[in-house]
A and B are shown apart, each in its own frame.
Chain A
Amino acid sequence: MSGTTARRPRKSFYHRYVRPYWPVYLMLLPALVTLAVFTYTPMPGVLLAFKKYSARKGLFGGAWVGLKNFRLLFTYADFWAALRNTVLISVGRLLIEFPAAIMLALLLNEVRSARYRRTLQTVYTFPHFLSWIIVAGILKNILRRDGLLNALLETLAIVGEPVNFLSSPSLFRPLIFITDIWKEVGWSSIIFMAAIAGVDEQLYEAALIDGAGRFRQTLFITLPCIAGTIAIMFILQVGNLLNAGFDQLFNMRNAIVMSEASILDTYIYDMTFASAPDYSFSATIGLFKSVIGFVLILLADRFSMLISGQGMVAAK
């Protein structure tokens, strides 16, 4: 490989950097081009947020308007509603769905038959591999006014008359949490299962000698031992706070619960593909979301550093 370079006393740029490494650069080229074209080229597009959009003058033909789009955005009640829903749903996910995955991992760990545990896990993980369109189709069928769940509840005399699960604004948020748990909890628990499997066996033996039962063992050994994993996963989710789950909300929403189901991402979608789209305005919401999201991710990364000594870019 360096046979030709050895003869020259002073290596040229070509012989030093290109000649020995060109196969590696060639391998990187497709990724480089893909990222450059499809990820980096759209980035300057965020500048639209500082322009006045005019369908006539073309995309970037509008005049610079500074922060006017933002000032306008902050006067819109729809925007504040979407932001509020985004935060409420994300925080709800952190407080309800996140502990559910840990709980499931802890419970699964108590199943002694490894075969049954694997079977259960296979079942729990399955819905993760289906799209929200499929899952919404199946769950909407179960949750209909005249669907299976209402039939079951009525037979058991739990409810007097059928519940409108899908189109009651007050039930919508719990519905979002429960259906997401149904779809994702099995998958989310895998990482905690892995952490539990790594706990030192001797700790349990020592606890047993000290007379600690299963519950105490779980509380004082398993949980502290997987605290690091829990913290990292929690922080990663906080960094993701403004992504409240577009796929789920987009497919579970309907006209009646629209005000509860509007999150930043669906708001951007609705604004962008409306009949008379104002691209500058959509870009403004997008940039707002990006900036806050960026700050959150940076914060999350710092915390992840503090806890594990590893940035999440490396940990992810």
Chain B
Amino acid sequence: MKKRSGLRRVTAGHLLILVLLTLFALTVLVPFINALTISFITQDEYMQNKMTLFPKEPTLNAYIQISREGWLAPAYLNTIFISACGWLYCITINVLTAYAITRKFPGRKLFYLFLIIPMFFSGGLIPTYLLMVKLGLKNTYRALILPAGVSTYYLMIMSTFFRELPAELEESARLDGASEGRILWSIILPLSKSVLATISLFIIVGFWNSWFEALIYIDKPIRWPLQLHLRRIINQAESAMKDRENLMANITVYSESIRMASVLVTMLPIMCVYPFLQKYFAKGVMIGAVKG
């Protein structure tokens, strides 16, 4: 980007800004690097020196130990299952709805209203929870997935995108006798890959990170997603310290290495795809921003 021609020399203020911004980037990065290091060192080495950035004698002990505890594999599978089903469900509903609201049909205003009212008013935590119990969805993954189906934000991004596609393609298809479903599947969707990728990422990351619904609806730890196990491990230190009896009663106290290893395995997939898909992540807010 060529900006503000002239004044090309580097000033002191400029340098200061660069230094500040770089320092902030380090502030963001160092905790992650620190967590990574701690997960690879022994408790002894951790106690000796808090500022190690490179482990002297790296060990996989923490990772081996959490994989032996038996929750890791099921939790991973649970989270992957929830994210995959949730993605399929959400993307289907949102694509269909986003396409439908770009059509002109009687009752459109009414449907908009139906979409918008939940933005202003909701039943709240208790009625929703009680409804789930009544529907027999407690302790099922449907309780985590089904209510998340419609997102006004995704709908807005997608229908804005669909509207900006050239109308001629669609008109000629219609003249050739293509049905609405056919137009959406064979004409609109192939042209919308980038917005589909963006929304898909948001949906998958959203499900990967979600924990509150699982906390209130899923009772059995074996059915928990990763995030809840991580929460249990992180918070365990505090509750153990709160009553010493727990500590005496032979409950495993997790070392910092185990805690950081658990954090890292939970965020691993996001960490791996983020640098490559960052442009898609940023696109979502941009599409929203251009409109606003």
Chain A residues in the interface with B (C-beta under 8 A): 17, 21, 23-25, 27-28, 30-32, 34-35, 37-46, 48, 59, 104, 107-112, 114, 119-127, 129-131, 133-134, 136-142, 146-148, 150-152, 155, 182, 186-187, 190-191, 194-195, 197, 201, 204-205, 208, 213-215, 217, 229, 232, 246-247, 251, 254-255, 268-269, 272-273, 279, 282-283, 286-287, 289-290, 294, 297-298, 310, 313-316
Contacts and interface: CB of A to CB of B under 8 A. Distances in A.
B96 A30 contact: yes
Main secondary structure of the interface of B (DSSP, over half): helix
B34 A251 contact: no
B100 A141 contact: no
Interface residues of B, number: 102
Interface stretch (B1-9, B63-71, B165-173, B189-197): B1-9
Main secondary structure of the interface of A (DSSP, over half): helix
Given A23-B179, A39-B122, 20 more contacts: A21-B103, A23-B181, A27-B180, A31-B150, A42-B131, A48-B126, A125-B281, A130-B267, A133-B211, A137-B263, A148-B30, A190-B282, A190-B285, A190-B289, A214-B7, A214-B14, A283-B127, A286-B124, A314-B291, A315-B292
Contacts of B266: 133-134
B114 A35 contact: yes
26 contacts: A27-B96, A27-B181, A28-B101, A28-B111, A30-B93, A31-B93, A38-B131, A39-B122, A43-B122, A44-B123, A45-B128, A120-B21, A129-B205, A130-B267, A136-B234, A137-B234, A137-B262, A141-B34, A150-B50, A194-B289, A194-B290, A204-B4, A282-B126, A289-B124, A316-B153, A316-B288
Contact of A148 (B50, B93, B152): B50
Contacts of B24: 104, 124
Interface string B97-134: 10111010110000100111011111111111111000
B20 interface: yes
A35 B121 contact: no
Nearest to A190: B285
B242 A217 contact: no
A267 B67 CA distance: 36
Interface core residue of B47, B106, B179 (most chain A CB under 10 Å): B106
A269 B215 CA distance: 11
A265 to B, nearest CB: 8
Contact of A130 (B270, B275, B289): B270
Contact of B7 (A41, A108, A208): A208
B278 A125 contact: yes
A125 B234 CA distance: 24
Contact of B97 (A28, A37, A107, A108): A28
A205 B5 contact: yes
B179 to A, nearest CB: 6
B29 interface: yes
A32 B112 CA distance: 11
B35 A251 contact: no
Nearest to B137: A38
B43 to A, nearest CB: 12
Interface of B: 1, 3-7, 11, 13-14, 17-18, 20-22, 24-25, 27-32, 34-35, 38, 47, 50-51, 92-94, 96-97, 99-101, 103, 105-106, 111, 114-116, 118-131, 135, 146-147, 149-150, 152-153, 156, 179-181, 184, 205, 208-212, 216, 227, 230-231, 234, 238, 242, 256, 259-260, 262-263, 266-267, 270, 274-275, 278, 281-282, 285-286, 288-292
A35 B126 contact: no
B227 A133 contact: yes
Contacts of A43: 121-123, 127
Contacts of B31: 138-139, 141-142, 148
Contacts of B256: 141
A138 B211 contact: no
B123 A24 contact: no
Contact of A124 (B28, B126, B152): B28
Contacts of B118: 35, 39-40
A138 B263 contact: yes
Given A134-B263, A137-B234, A208-B4, A23 B180 contact: yes
Contacts of A247: 212
Contact of A125 (B20, B30, B282): B282
